[in-house]
Structure 1
Amino acid sequence: MSDLERLIQVGTTKRCMVTITPPRERTCERCGRTDVWRPERKNWIVDGDVGNPYCIHDWDINGSYNPIEK
């Protein structure tokens, strides 16, 4: 049974609190643009090099990031 299947099973049989931690930074795999989340502005802010303004931005979310805190 996978971790996700266990989490779903526990969630359906017991009430459990899960903390979701969203990413605070992201980098485009295509042009290298880096954005940083600014909670006070409730928006992503370009940090440093802007990258290619015409890029559709393929963010580096590749499965290694886990938003669920244990």
Structure 2
Amino acid sequence: MQGTVATFDPSTRSGRLLTDEGMPLEFPAASLAEHIRHLRVGQRVFIETDGTSVTSVAIWQQR
């Protein structure tokens, strides 16, 4: 699934994103890929969920 970062708190490394389907999702710091140090509002990301919560957030890389 893909989406866009809506909010990001650098101190907690958690935030909220909006999927391409328009669904808002909260993400915890534990879901961020290891290489992510900061996200900016509007940044595109890949999202994995377990059906109810975000399990992985990775930075979108256009090829």
Normalization by structure 1: what TM-score? 0.24
The structure whose Rg is larger is 1
Which one has the bigger strand percentage? 2
